[in-house]
Amino acid sequence: MKFHTEYLVFHTPAHREYVHITQKVEAIVNKSGIKEGMVLVSAMHITAGVYVNDDESGLIEDIDQWLEELAPFNQDYRHHGTGETNGDSHLKALLIHHQVIVPITAGKLDFGPWQRIFYAEFDGQRDKRVIVKVMGE
Amino acid sequence: MKFHTEYLVFHTPAHREYVHITQKVEAIVNKSGIKEGMVLVSAMHITAGVYVNDDESGLIEDIDQWLEELAPFNQDYRHHGTGETNGDSHLKALLIHHQVIVPITAGKLDFGPWQRIFYAEFDGQRDKRVIVKVMGE
Amino acid sequence: MKFHTEYLVFHTPAHREYVHITQKVEAIVNKSGIKEGMVLVSAMHITAGVYVNDDESGLIEDIDQWLEELAPFNQDYRHHGTGETNGDSHLKALLIHHQVIVPITAGKLDFGPWQRIFYAEFDGQRDKRVIVKVMGE
């Protein structure tokens, strides 16, 4: 069994941002030489997520608005007693989930026609990392 | 390490539907001959999910109503600028998540007593696929 | 490829509770001797979850309040026709998700600085199990 691990670094200009990373993950899978297996793509922070969905700008705005409705910015989170102001960022990350597993078959991401991988930043404007770990043969 | 990959196809009569697939996944695991490892069950579409919970018809109706409350059908999603009408289907899929990993121990799905695998269709009445990838020894 | 499987048992005093389990998972990974791979941490019940986020008591209260808002206790779930009263526990478990995969690199959980693993109990006061399955080399 082979393992190949890389780390992506993000530093988004905006506080919240959705970054399409399918091509970066594909490049890492190609470099690994692994033909059968899977790749774990997992945020290394507790205010960021990774998800699979459509690369369509309207939908991405819909997702952002929906997350803000279900996990709104708010001054009053208990977490803010620590001096932080990002309680909502934690809740948004929990809702979208922080990781995906993408299957690899015949050396390719085994995706349906519209599946794309996104890094979802909920507390940006500083360095954040995502682990990409390819496992297989 | 062994890999065994199959694809399930669904074409649900209803727009939204919850299909119990534990037995289909078990059959694929048995066919693979893999005794230790895991099986990834992952929707290949961005308007469908896969989850693990109870096979109880009342609960399934509760889940459907709850998803409609948190991610309602709505004419006004920006995504509809593309001509689509399924913005809510994308959000429901993000909420329920599109994949699960089931551990395999001694040749069996290593589940608790009530855990069952469901395919959650949020935009049906056409062919949709789920990848079932068994990995282990 | 090596596999090492253990089961954690929880019996929380409270109906809902969030239990920090990173050290228990680390101990199992150490015992496995696996240096490269991953560990699946997955609730074996349909009214409990596993998530990765911050070990900060204010945030944990925020998460609990937020889950109660989005998936409230309610007498009227159809699931209660079975005699159960825990419809909300199922929905909370679906929202937080029942499992995580933690990458292992150089014998350690390959986490960012604040990532911690939590068992989220939504229907406690009885024995519940979590499977911890380490896979790699």
Separation between Cα atoms, residue A124 and residue A126, nearest integer Å: 5
Chain C interface includes B51 (CB < 8 A): yes
Residues contacting C76, CB < 8 A, separation 6+: none
Q: Please give the residue of chain B at the shortest CA–CA distance from C127.
A: B112
Which residues of B fall within a CB distance of 8 Å from A37?
Answer: 3, 135
Chain A interface includes B22 (CB < 8 A): no
Q: Please give the residue of chain C at the shortest CA–CA distance from A132.
A: C103
Separation between Cα atoms, residue B63 and residue B19, nearest integer Å: 13
Share of chain B above pLDDT 70, in %: 100
The dihedral through the CA atoms of B97, B98, B104, B110 has a sign that is positive
Reported confidence tier of residue B121, pLDDT bands at 50, 70, 90: very high
Reported confidence tier of residue A54, pLDDT bands at 50, 70, 90: very high
Reported confidence tier of residue C18, pLDDT bands at 50, 70, 90: very high
Which residues of B fall within a CB distance of 8 Å from A38?
Answer: 40, 133, 135
Share of chain C above pLDDT 70, in %: 100
Mean pLDDT of B29-52: 98
Closest CA to A8 of A36, A44, A35, A46: A44
Q: Tell me, what's the pLDDT at C71?
A: 98
Which residues of C fall within a CB distance of 8 Å from A5?
Answer: 103, 105, 110
Chain A interface includes C95 (CB < 8 A): yes
Residue C83 backbone class (left: φ over 0; alpha: ψ -120 to 50; beta: rest) = left
Q: What mean pLDDT value characterizes chain B?
A: 97
Share of chain A above pLDDT 90, in %: 99
Rounded-to-5 percentages of helix, strand, coil across chain A: 30, 35, 35
Beta strand residue intervals within C11-127, DSSP E:
17-20, 37-43, 48-53, 99-105, 108-109, 116-121
Separation between Cα atoms, residue A119 and residue A24, nearest integer Å: 11
* CB-based contact A115 B82, cutoff 8 Å: no
Phi, psi of A68 (to 5 degrees): -65, -30
Q: Tell me, what's the pLDDT at A109?
A: 98
* CB-based contact B97 A97, cutoff 8 Å: yes
C101: closest CA of chain B, how far (Å):
9
Q: Tell me, what's the pLDDT at A13?
A: 98
Residues contacting A15, CB < 8 A, separation 6+: A121, A122, A123, A124, A125
Mean pLDDT of C58-77: 97
Answer whether B125's CB lies under 8 Å from B11's CB. yes
Q: What is the token pair recorded at C96?
A: 């937080």
* CB-based contact A103 B129, cutoff 8 Å: no
Phi, psi of B70 (to 5 degrees): -85, -25
Tokens 């890999």 locate to: B3
* CB-based contact B101 C42, cutoff 8 Å: yes
| Whole-number Cα distances in Å, C76 to B71, C70, C94 | 20, 15, 18
Q: Tell me, what's the pLDDT at B112?
A: 97
* Amino acid present at A136: G
Q: What is the token pair recorded at A64?
A: 């952002």
* CB-based contact B112 C44, cutoff 8 Å: yes
Mean pLDDT of B22-29: 98
The separation between the first and the last C-alpha atoms of chain C, rounded to the nearest angstrom, is 5
Put simply, whether the predicted model's pTM sits higher than 0.95 gets the answer yes
pLDDT tens for A19-40 read: 999 999 999 999 999 999 999 9
Mean pLDDT of C55-66: 98
Closest CA to A11 of A129, A132, A133: A129
Chain B interface includes C99 (CB < 8 A): yes
Reported confidence tier of residue A51, pLDDT bands at 50, 70, 90: very high
Separation between Cα atoms, residue A76 and residue A88, nearest integer Å: 10
Mean pLDDT of B103-116: 97
Q: What is the token pair recorded at C57?
A: 């008591």
* CB-based contact C78 B59, cutoff 8 Å: yes
Which residues of B fall within a CB distance of 8 Å from C82?
Answer: 56, 58
Q: Tell me, what's the pLDDT at B37?
A: 98
A135 strand-pairing partners: A3, A38
Q: Flag whether the ipTM exceeds 0.85.
A: yes
Mean pLDDT of A81-88: 96
Specify the DSSP class assigned to residue A46. Answer: T
pLDDT tens for C73-96 read: 999 999 999 999 999 999 999 999
Separation between Cα atoms, residue B2 and residue A84, nearest integer Å: 47
Q: Which of C32, C36, C69, C79 to mutate to test the interface with B (most CBs of B within 10 A)?
A: C79
Q: Tell me, what's the pLDDT at A117?
A: 98
Reported confidence tier of residue C66, pLDDT bands at 50, 70, 90: very high
pLDDT tens for C92-136 read: 999 999 999 999 999 999 999 999 999 999 999 999 999 999 999
B105 strand-pairing partners: B108
B51: closest CA of chain A, how far (Å):
14
Which residues of C fall within a CB distance of 8 Å from B112?
Answer: 43-46, 129
Chain C interface includes B3 (CB < 8 A): no
Q: Which of C122, C133, C134, C137 to mutate to test the interface with B (most CBs of B within 10 A)?
A: C133
* CB-based contact B114 C82, cutoff 8 Å: no
Mean pLDDT of B28-56: 98
Question: CA B19: distance to chain centroid?
Answer: 8
* Amino acid present at C1: M
Which residues of C fall within a CB distance of 8 Å from A101?
Answer: 101
Q: Report the alpha-carbon angle A86-C118-A8, nearest 5.
A: 60
